[in-house]
Amino acid sequence: MHTAELALSLLLVVIIVVSLLSNVLVLICFLYNAEIRKQVPGLFILNLTFCNLLLSASSMPLTLYGVLSNAHPGGQIFCQVVGFLDTFLTTNSMLSMAALSIDRWVAVVFPLSYHSRIRHRDAVIALAYTWMHSLSFSVVAACLSWVGYHQLYASCTLCNGRAVNAKTQFAIYTMVLHSLTFLLVSVVLCVTYLKVLKVARFHCKRIDVITMQTLVLLVDIHPSVRQRCLEEQKRRRQRATRKISTFIGTFVVCFTPYVITRIVELFVTEPFNPYWGVLCKSLAYSKAACDPFVYSLLRHQYRKTCSDIINRLLKRSSQNGAGHQQENGKIGRAKEIVKDGEVEARPTN
């Protein structure tokens, strides 16, 4: 095995483990916390988590097998089913990210009318559209036999037809697919989150004005306190920019190399480096490992839920340990009593 294959295999193993553990943790938090289940974004996060878990359990292990063995994983029908799932789950997860961005845009720009604009019924309709959108492209690819094992990506995914007219149709299909998924979601993410950033900066400026007016009125304030207030202003502005950059940046970094390679592959006859194809596919997979942290686990509500679950488990384990110690103590005292009784009952010479 070459060094590049070993490195890609280790990368895939890390992505699979992190993706499975983090998405399962998000699912546990969703089931544990009733407040999260009541929120409208919770439905989008649940759908995104569901897609990421299935992708981590189906497509990723087969790609790892393809990298390690350089062979076709399973039979043709099995690979077509996995390729169907790969197209469906990837498209569905992208559209779920777009739905989450629209939800946050409405929550920030229209905070007073958010609950009247975004309701659970609206979320269910949006999820139904994401499923229909994803199923339509996946079913078309499966019916036209455009899913199978792709040597460049070492995975069961979309692959070219052999005939010239089939290649033309496949090129049109691929362009439409990525235009209505990757490009559409990229535009939605940029528009919504940049508007959110604009509103956040506006509120930061208002807070900064109030803070500066307060500092001017407080003549006797210590210079260190004034410096801390100014540093907090700077951190507040950077925090908003960092969050928006994370939402948009992770999507672009993870999916752009794969999508560009897919499109360039349609018009270039020279073969690509297979390591580059697997690396692009691994980057696309890594989005499933990033999403739980970007959208869920780094939020205060999920962190608090995780800490509550850990504290509850530790408390239960400590109670069980104390119970075992108490039972062992009772058994030990009973043995001592029995031993003392035997000594007293023993006849003396």
pLDDT of amino acid 345: 44
pLDDT of amino acid 54: 95
State how many domains the chain has. 1
| 5 belongs to a structural domain | yes
| 158 belongs to a structural domain | yes
pLDDT of amino acid 338: 43
Structural tokens at position 100: 């989450």
| 317 belongs to a structural domain | no
- 10 Å Cβ neighbour count for 277? 22
- At residue 112, what are phi and psi to the nearest 5 degrees? -75, -30
Please answer whether residues 25 and 297 qualify as being in contact, where contact means their C-beta atoms are separated by less than 8 angstroms.
Answer: yes
- 10 Å Cβ neighbour count for 163? 10
| 342 belongs to a structural domain | no
Using alpha carbons, list the distances in angstroms from residue 256 to 93, 231, 263, 276.
15, 36, 11, 13
| 313 belongs to a structural domain | no
| 163 belongs to a structural domain | yes
pLDDT of amino acid 163: 56
Structural tokens at position 313: 């488990």
Cα(145)–Cα(260) distance, integer angstroms:
23
Cα(195)–Cα(96) distance, integer angstroms:
19
Please answer whether residues 118 and 107 qualify as being in contact, where contact means their C-beta atoms are separated by less than 8 angstroms.
Answer: yes
pLDDT per residue, tens digit, the chain (349 aa), is 678 889 999 999 999 999 999 999 999 999 999 999 889 999 999 999 999 999 999 999 999 998 988 777 777 889 899 999 999 999 999 999 999 999 999 998 888 888 888 888 999 999 999 999 999 999 999 998 899 889 899 999 998 765 556 788 899 999 999 999 999 999 999 999 999 888 877 766 666 556 655 655 555 566 666 667 667 666 767 777 888 999 999 999 999 999 999 999 988 888 888 899 999 999 999 999 999 999 999 888 999 999 999 898 888 766 665 555 565 555 555 455 445 554 444 444 4
CATH number where 133 lies: 1.20.1070.10
pLDDT of amino acid 349: 40
Task: Tell whether the torsion through CA atoms of 164, 86, 63 and 14 is positive or negative.
Answer: positive
pLDDT of amino acid 182: 96
Domain that holds residue 93: 1-294
pLDDT of amino acid 57: 94
pLDDT of amino acid 89: 95
| 346 belongs to a structural domain | no
What proportion of the chain, given as a percentage, has pLDDT over 70?
Answer: 79
pLDDT of amino acid 220: 57
| 6 belongs to a structural domain | yes
pLDDT of amino acid 165: 65
